[in-house]
Amino acid sequence: MLFRSLTKTRPLAENAGISFIGTQKNGPFDMPGDLARQWLALPLNPNGRPNSDVVRPWANGMDITRRPSDTWIVDFGCELSEAEAALYEIPFAKVLNDVKPTREGLNREGHRKLWWRHGEARPGMRAALASLARYIATPRVAKHRLFVWLASNILPDCQVVVFASDSDVTFGILHSRLHELWSLRMGTSLEDRPRYTPTTCFETFPFPTNLQPEVSEAIAAASCRLVQLRDNWLNPAGASEAELKKRTLTNLYNQRPTWLANAHNELDAAVAAAYGWPADLSDDEILKRLLQLNLERSQPGDLG
């Protein structure tokens, strides 16, 4: 009955324009970090601009669930013309040689004619992230629903869902048990790996409103503590390369040591308090209450 009721949810106006699927490159725009750093050290281009304008770190879902791969990407954005892109001499040569041949026979006119740009460049996402120094990200498909911070210069792949927020409070709410339960029910799955979709998992989720300063501070503190403890575990001082390879977020959440469970419990209690709810509600009771909030806040006109 509850599962059927969840199909009545509607997108909430206040959640629009925040969550996005990352770019889809549609071609070999990527390169290893060592090569990218060589390009960044080259002299300025004929336009007087550095290669750092168009050569960026890149992240896909496995960069979140495993170890960062140090992959970089040529990114001419959404607006540069072919002539403007060509002024970035070495990056353009790579795309000309490696990407253009893969685009020439494509049926999609935009992919064929705008071969120097990514297939899905996500202008809306770029605009939403433009003013931020960091943003929240989660893998689209993963065994565990994990959220991380990414620096604003990192370009997310289409296997990453991003959230245009630099708020520790928003991060904490997203990484709480309440949002995890909602996303598991509102998303889809690929075998045993849940899939997160911005439209059903995020845009329908009723965030707590009218937060008092002490409530926001409690969520932010618990959120920061969780991230700091995880970072300490992922990258301990003096660890060997062999040891670091084993220290991934997936392995950490597979083990779920007591300190991690405690950190999440603290965060969950702070988020529950933001709704005015007890921390020990059952999964079904949490979902029923979230559904009721969604239905109260949404109007028929909210549907796109």
pLDDT, tens digit, 9 for 90 and up, residues 112-142: 999 999 999 999 999 999 999 999 999 999 9
Query: Is pLDDT of 190 > 80?
Result: no
Query: Is pLDDT of 304 > 60?
Result: no
CB 169 within 8 A of CB 211: yes
pLDDT at 138: 98
pTM value is 0.94
Query: Is pLDDT of 302 > 60?
Result: no
pLDDT band at 299 (very low <50, low <70, confident <90, very high): low
Q: Rounded mean pLDDT of 248-269?
A: 98
Q: Crossing angle of helices 177-186/258-275, nearest 10°?
A: 90
Residues in Cβ contact with 167 at an 8 Å cutoff, skipping those fewer than 6 apart? 220
State both tokens at 241: 């390369």
Query: Is pLDDT of 239 > 70?
Result: yes
pLDDT band at 193 (very low <50, low <70, confident <90, very high): confident
Average per-residue pLDDT for the chain: 94
Cα–Cα distances (Å) from 165 to 43, 72, 103, 134, in that order, read 35, 23, 34, 8
Candidates 201, 118, 190, 198; CA nearest to 161 is: 198
Q: Rounded mean pLDDT of 145-171?
A: 98
Query: Is pLDDT of 4 > 90?
Result: no
CB 60 within 8 A of CB 77: no
Q: What percent of the chain has pLDDT over 90?
A: 90
Q: Rounded mean pLDDT of 74-101?
A: 98
Give CA–CA dist 261/208, Å, rounded: 23
pLDDT at 191: 65
Candidates 60, 55, 41; CA nearest to 94 is: 55
Query: Is pLDDT of 78 > 50?
Result: yes
Cα–Cα distances (Å) from 217 to 155, 168, 279, in that order, read 30, 9, 17
Lowest mean pLDDT among 105-114, 120-129, 140-149, 153-162: 105-114
pLDDT at 3: 52
Q: Is 44 helix (H, G, I), strand (E, B) or coil?
A: coil
Residue with tokens 């779920």: 256
Query: Is pLDDT of 240 > 70?
Result: yes
pLDDT band at 160 (very low <50, low <70, confident <90, very high): very high
